[in-house]
Amino acid sequence: MELDSKCPTGPIETRWDRHCFQLKLVNPANKRKHTIIVVGTGLAGGSAAASLAELGYNVKCFCFQDSPRRAHSIAAQGGINAAKNYRNDGDSVYRLFYDTVKGGDFRSRESNVYRLAQISVNIIDQCVAQGVPFAREYSGYLDNRSFGGAQVSRTFYARGQTGQQLLLGAYQALERQIAAGQVEMHPRTEMLDLIAIDGKARGIVTRDLLTGKIESHLADAVVLGTGGYGNAYYLSTNAKGSNATAIWRAYKHGALFANPCFTQIHPTCIPVSGEYQSKLTLMSESLRNDGRVWVPAKKGDKRAPSQIPEAERDYYLERKYPSFGNLVPRDVASRNAKQVCDDGRGVGESGLAVFLDFRDATERLGQHTIKERYGNLFDMYERIAGEDPYQVPMRIFPAMHYVMGGLWVDYNLMSTIPGLYVIGEANFSDHGANRLGASALMQGLADGYFVLPNTINDYLASEKLEKVDASHAAVREAESGVAAVTKRLLDAKGTRSVDSHHRELGKLMWEYCGMSRTAGGLKHALAKIPELRERFWSDVRVLGSGEDLNQSLERAGRVADFFELAELICIDALERNESCGGHFREEYQTPEGEAQRDDRRYAYAAAWEFRGVGNAPALHTEPLTFEYVHPAQRSYK
Ligand SMILES: Cc1cc2nc3c(=O)[nH]c(=O)nc-3n(C[C@H](O)[C@H](O)[C@H](O)COP(=O)(O)OP(=O)(O)OC[C@H]3O[C@@H](n4cnc5c(N)ncnc54)[C@H](O)[C@@H]3O)c2cc1C
């Protein structure tokens, strides 16, 4: 299959504008004749649904939570990037573009990244107009702070609750359209299959999570803004409900899945504390603005941090990367934390933690300022870890956090199934092999507010879309498939809970396909996953019925998909014989232990085609070319 990215050519600064001009429009009277399904109400789906409705399309919007504003995006803490250069510290659209291509270790499309950097400035204006309460300086200007992988301050924030405030903005815009009758909202409704007719996406099959009713919804196009699949690893910073089901079912209908092994481990999370823990908590990257990361210089030094003199501390990020210091990108910070812990210098009872210390910043700025900047994060840490971070350094360790992989999309955000668009974390995104902090919110909102509302018109104006109704064979087939899976899960009547199977899968993934990977380890995981999957289907115990609220049944369906997706993640990781960004293959590293790319063989997006459960998927590649930022060994020294 030839993957046509539809990226424009010519000067990069004018590509998006020229592309928009060439796209067909739908006139206002004709917009009323089209219905678009949007699955997801996070920053990507919520902004898209509101914007499409504002344009005049009829929108049907779905989420599995009880309210659109409970989407996982609400958890985002640290901030959102934009190249406004309010600080006059040398930022520009070009620098944000450059930092993002380099930060992603040269595994993203230049055209997409440049567009993202351009649109970043509009996002801030849009959100300010909605009333999002970004932090401000005394003068009244919006404040900025720094995030990893950048030497400028371009991150806009609302304390440690940026996602929440941005989501409330999108949610208000969505609610306005619901009230106007332009959006039909379906909360507590889970998409369990895609309906494809004549090769085009024409609808979805859903299950009402309160009544169990299985229903079909038809439309002219389907948009998935269903978030990331980090929970395939069981323990992650994601909301417990985040899952891959929507994109996985679309993959099974022919949408290619790109770079599934590009997963992000975040360096600053509260360490795992016990076997039965079900969730990990992020401590925002913003804390690295003022916190200093260190471990004892000597192995096995178990003294309290206050007892370890300055000369016996190793501020290893500042030592190894003097230009970026504690603000190196996430992949670099995570790998270094692992290295010092592997070296026997980790802290805390398990030895799997490093210190994040605010002593110097508190002395310099005063506790009041630290509290103003990070108060809610400090409170959250104290509640979970039982220690006061104003007095003792935080203990942090890397954890699964975000996925750069997802469904392959072209420049218009359309997948390989015509009429199926994928936005936000669910697509394979503009972040390459490593996302820079504060860039996910930027991408989700760019996709939803600005890109999709321009590109989807072209499809609707160009395609002849026959009328379809619920009696179509494809609709009935999709509905009975969903009912069959639900029945199979309830009928298994095994001995182990859904969570116990999921935990076992997660442990395997973390150990063999986590922060570092080897060919041997991946082969081991690939031998084990089908075994675990089989055991899941024969031994899972789902109590209750399919006719009312049954969260165990909901989780079972999602975990069943993780068992299949996990295999694809490992296949992709094994196929990519190089290290890049978050994909660190131990066999491919520089003498200093940094990721070593192989641009000659792997400068491509790997897009996988489904060939049946348990069968090898087919690999298609989209070559990546770099005209502006020339691939080099990333250096943050
Ligand atoms: C703790 C934490 C902090 C973060 N902080 C930041 C930050 O400071 N800055 C930053 O840039 N990024 C941050 N990120 C990343 C960022 O929050 C996410 O990438 C982003 O919010 C994803 O948005 P989304 O709209 O794509 O998906 P989500 O917000 O995950 O929304 C998914 C939506 O899809 C719906 N859905 C999913 N599947 C189905 C289905 N089958 N049927 C029906 N509905 C479905 C859900 O109900 C939900 O409405 C953070 C991530 C975490 C975990």
CA nearest neighbour of 285 among 399, 453, 196, 193? 399
Please list the alpha-helical segments (H only) found in 104-244: 110-130, 162-179
CA nearest neighbour of 412 among 3, 5, 1? 5
Q: Report the distance separating Cα 276 and Cα 623, nearest Å.
A: 43
pTM (two decimals): 0.97
pLDDT for residue 425: 98
> For this structure, is 18 an active site residue?
no
Which run of H or of E encompasses 61? strand 58-62
Across 585-599, b (16+ Cβ under 10 Å) vs e yields: beebeeeeebbbbee
Could you please report the per-residue DSSP string of 239-263? Answer: -TT---HHHHHHHHTT--EE-TT-E
Q: 348-395 pLDDT, tens per residue?
A: 999 999 999 999 999 999 999 999 889 989 999 999 999 999 999 999
Residue 340 CB-density burial (10 A; 0-12 exposed, 13-18 middle, 19+ buried): buried
CB atoms within 10 A of CB 508: 21
Task: Answer yes or no: are the C-beta atoms of 503 and 535 closer than 8 Å.
Answer: no
pLDDT for residue 1: 81
Which of 61, 64, 445 to mutate to test ligand 1, by most ligand atoms within 8 A of the CB atom?
64
Could you give the count of Cα atoms lying within 13 Å of 602 in the half-sphere of its Cβ?
Answer: 21
Residue 361 Cα to ligand 1 midpoint, Å, equals 31
What is the torsional sign of CA 474, 479, 482, 483? Answer: negative
pLDDT for residue 274: 85
Q: Report the distance separating Cα 281 and Cα 270, nearest Å.
A: 6
Residue 332 Cα to ligand 1 midpoint, Å, equals 24
> Out of 330, 395, 503, 517, which one is annotated catalytic?
330
Angle between helices 15-22 and 110-130 in degrees, nearest 10: 80
Q: Report the distance separating Cα 397 and Cα 281, nearest Å.
A: 10
Q: Report the distance separating Cα 573 and Cα 602, nearest Å.
A: 12
Give residues (CB < 6 A) around ligand 1: 39-45, 62-65, 71-73, 75-80, 162-163, 190-191, 225-228, 237-238, 242-243, 245-246, 282, 401-402, 424-426, 438-441, 444
**Which residue's structure tokens are 């590293």?**
589
pLDDT for residue 275: 85
Strand partners, 395: 355
Q: What are phi and psi of 76, to 5 degrees?
A: -60, 135
Six token digits for residue 143: 């404040």
Six token digits for residue 510: 């973390």
Give nearest CA residue, ligand 1 atom 27. 227
Residue segments in the chain with a per-residue pLDDT below the cut of 50: none
CA nearest neighbour of 162 among 377, 468, 327? 377
Residue 89 Cα to ligand 1 midpoint, Å, equals 31
Which run of H or of E encompasses 573? helix 551-575
Who's near 44: CB < 8 A, 6+ residues apart?
73, 225, 227, 423, 424, 425, 426, 444, 445, 447, 448
Which of 37, 62, 63 to mutate to test ligand 1, by most ligand atoms within 8 A of the CB atom?
63
Residues in the chain: 637
Task: Please list the helix, strand and coil fractions of the chain in percent, rounded to the nearest 5, in that order.
Answer: 40, 15, 40
Strand partners, 59: 36, 183
Residue 447 Cα to ligand 1 midpoint, Å, equals 13
Distance, first Cα to last Cα, the chain: 41
Please list the alpha-helical segments (H only) found in 306-366: 316-320, 330-342, 359-365
Which of 154, 166, 222, 226 to mutate to test ligand 1, by most ligand atoms within 8 A of the CB atom?
226
Could you give the count of Cα atoms lying within 13 Å of 76 in the half-sphere of its Cβ?
Answer: 30
Residue 520 CB-density burial (10 A; 0-12 exposed, 13-18 middle, 19+ buried): exposed
Could you please report the per-residue DSSP string of 183-198? Answer: EEEETTEEEEEEEEET
Q: Report the distance separating Cα 202 and Cα 469, nearest Å.
A: 10
